[in-house]
A and B are shown apart, each in its own frame.
Chain A
Amino acid sequence: MAKTSALMAGRWERSSEATMSADFFQFQPFNLPPEAEALRADVRDFVARELKDRPLSELGQTWSGSDPEFSRKMGAKGWIGMIWPKRYGGHERSSFERYVVLEEMLAADAPVGAHWVADRQSGPLLLRFGTEEQRQEHLPAIARGERFFCIGMSEPNSGSDLASVRTKAERVAGGYKVNGRKIWTSGAHRAHFMIATLRTQSDPEDRHGGLTQFLVDLKTPGIHISPIEDLSRRSHFNEVLFEDVFLPETARVGNEGDGWTQVTSELAFERSGPERFLSCYPLFRELIREIGPEGDRLQRIAIGRLTARLVTLRRMSISVAGMLNEGANPALEASVVKDQGAMYEQSLPNIARALVELVPTVEGQSPYQEILGTLLQAVPSFSLRGGTREILRGIIARGLGLR
């Protein structure tokens, strides 16, 4: 019976109406406006000046590379907090202008990691949900490139299942007492503050409702930060231990119990930016250099596929930026860009190795080999950070009408 009904449903009949040609996604056609394009030359001059003579060991890290001095210089140029109101130290530029600065920085392999999280996530979060006092205190310092943030979400027993976080913020006189630990916290060892998602209520029936976000000064007594070496022996992420840490009432961001909603709104912005397909751009550039101006047929075909994917991902990402700029919520489209971007970036080092026979290095043979060595070891994380591939595809599946 089930088979017969499926069979009939699978036939095109007059009643099939317009659904066959209805779109699942809304990638509206946006192009970067002239005022955004006008910024490019300035950004290119800046990175050419600032990044000449970099040691090989710093190549290929893009937004994982951290250089507080570089961040301060970007702040002085007005390129952090670009779209925030001027009264909070922002520059009231369009999100397209911000997009141009971001993609130019990534394409140039600039060490933007120190301020990246504060600019992309923490600042916007405080703008939306923070108190006036919190905004005045932090946003101007972030925009100057002097204050860095990290995000305390994952815990040893809470990864993809974020709603299960257990690090507890208990009400005490004048504020909260925090106990527990966060892990995989990128940049905590170099950040000044953390936006932590903590449990303020333990009701097994309402896991989402018991979460609250806090602005945590990482110098507070009782906080212990231990870097964790990644597989390449670099220290990007950390374990952050909270032992009877006192947070004043004024450290809470938003209402008690609103943490889950706030976190989810943060993630939509996190997922569609140019860092989701340009983290490997330096490798693409150096691969082209190694192959030379003509290449053989196999090399041309492979490079052609990579170029087309890059150009298409960029257009999809700009389309999402345009929709965000208009106040829409393209969460589904953003997830698609991140998933497609991760697949593209993860394929790149292996394609490069099939086209050019040079050993990936970590001790500086050539820029190509150094970047290949760095990225080959970095790309597995691209489908882990900012939501695993499986979680992301679950979100997309729900958007498609499954689940």
Chain B
Amino acid sequence: MSELQSMIFETADRIFADHVTHDLIAKSEAGEAPHDLWRDLTFAGLPKALCSEAAGGIGGTWSDVFGIIKAAGARAVPLPLGEIMAAHWLAEQAGLAVPEDAIAVFAAASGPEPGVTVQISLESSLPTHLVAWDEAARTLSLAVLKEADSPRSIAGARQLSLHITDQEIIEIAPLDLPGMSPLALGAMLRAAQMAGAMEAALRLSVDYVNERVQFGRPIGKFQAIQQQLAMMSGHVAAAARAAQVAFETNSAFDIACAKLIAGEAAEVVTDVAHQVHGAIGFTYEYQLQFLTRRLWSWGSEFGATAYWAERVGGATLATGPDAVWSAITENRLVL
């Protein structure tokens, strides 16, 4: 990690560790907003980590904040920090001014004009504004986030489907980000959160089997347990590496690979983590569920595994048998 990366990572992780307890996540899942957590994150300047210093930010890159988004996943931080960072990042590029007291999240939007429709999975009741990116219209809209009845995801996130009209829209600006799309941006965030949640599930599982005694010894001494966790750890490592690459290159192809590798890995990780935990892992009281329910939910958001797999497979087949290898070695496979 560079100096900037370790500095902002340590700041963020300390704030997460100080605030994000079982009770905080539980309350947040029940609809209560984590104001103190938000206050400290804002004080540390993290929402604007990706904005230039001129715009009051830290001037970081996506690669610089990878560790933070991953840690937010590892700790099941109950607010959409990635979407908030993305909102400020997009707003600066489009020249939209987000009000100082607003808590804005990025969302994928689609027509019809003059309003926009957004689909958003929103963790926490905290956000007040939307920064809606319409890829087809190449616009970014800043709008007030209105309350609406909404179903909840299995991770407790509100599933909003909103039509935003002139009444809520504060400002619209043109935005063109070649090579990036709202869906890919969201998938990149989820891939990092999932990588973090899987590392945490592995950590929790290792700690648990080293402590839980049956047949006179910690169950982690049994090869049946060791073999499963070793296999699972390979999937965790692959997901983390793929997500890291996505944050380094920001290419749609690498993001697609990261999201689909994370989705595949999460199937194994949630399975094995619950298996080695036994009944205790199946309770709300124990924290494993905060991770596994999010993994199930995140795997379906911003393009599920099969969606991205089809895109990657389509690109591979179109490249053709004799050009695929050179395309892989030269990072030329594109969606």
Contacts and interface: CB of A to CB of B under 8 A. Distances in A.
A7 interface: yes
A231 interface: no
B203 A20 contact: yes
A281 B237 contact: no
A227 B241 CA distance: 42
Contacts of B221: 402-403
B211 A9 contact: yes
A24 B202 contact: yes
Contact of A6 (B18, B212, B313): B212
A7 B285 contact: yes
Given A27-B240, A304-B312, A21 B196 contact: yes
Contact of A308 (B242, B248, B321): B242
Contacts of B333: 307, 311
A9 to B, nearest CB: 6
A355 to B, nearest CB: 10
B136 interface: no
B6 interface: no
B162 interface: no
B64 interface: no
Given A303-B313, A393-B230, A403-B220, A308 B261 contact: yes
Contact of B321 (A5, A288, A306): A288
Given A2-B212, A14-B17, A312-B238, A300 B226 contact: no
Given A6-B212, A286-B321, A397-B230, A20 B74 contact: yes
A315 interface: yes
A287 B70 CA distance: 36
Contact of A305 (B20, B242, B285, B313): B313
Interface stretch (A120-128, A201-209, A244-252, A290-298): A290-298
A297 B310 contact: yes
Contacts of A34: none
A146 to B, nearest CB: 30
A308 B253 CA distance: 9
B265 to A, nearest CB: 10
A3 B226 contact: no
B229 interface: yes
A37 B328 CA distance: 13
B180 interface: no
A390 B20 CA distance: 38
Given A24-B199, A303-B317, A394 B223 contact: yes
Contacts of A14: 17-18, 21
B241 A312 contact: yes
A26 B17 CA distance: 22
Given A10-B208, A301-B313, A397-B226, A23 B231 contact: no
B225 A12 contact: no
Nearest to A19: B203
Contacts of B16: 21
Interface residues of B, number: 84
Interface string A263-299: 0000000000000000001001110110111110101
A380 interface: no
Interface string B302-322: 000010111111111110111
A394 B317 contact: no
A40 interface: yes
B260 A308 contact: yes
A312 B195 CA distance: 14
Contact of B233 (A13, A310, A336): A336
Which of A9, A12, A311, A403 has the most chain B CB atoms closer than 10 A to its own CB?
A: A12
Contacts of B325: 107, 281, 285
A21 B233 contact: no
Interface in B232-259: 233-238, 240-242, 244-245, 248, 256-257
A17 interface: yes
Nearest to B253: A311
Contacts of A191: none
Contacts of B231: 339, 393
A314 B233 CA distance: 17
Given A13-B21, A21-B74, A301 B310 contact: yes
B320 A293 contact: yes
Interface in B122-177: none
Contacts of B324: 284-285, 288, 307
Given A7-B280, A11-B287, A304-B256, 13 more contacts: A10-B280, A11-B22, A17-B17, A20-B71, A24-B202, A25-B237, A29-B245, A37-B329, A300-B309, A336-B233, A336-B234, A396-B234, A402-B226
20 contacts: A10-B287, A11-B285, A17-B17, A18-B17, A21-B71, A22-B203, A27-B237, A37-B329, A107-B325, A289-B321, A304-B312, A304-B314, A305-B309, A307-B312, A308-B257, A400-B229, A400-B233, A401-B206, A401-B210, A403-B220
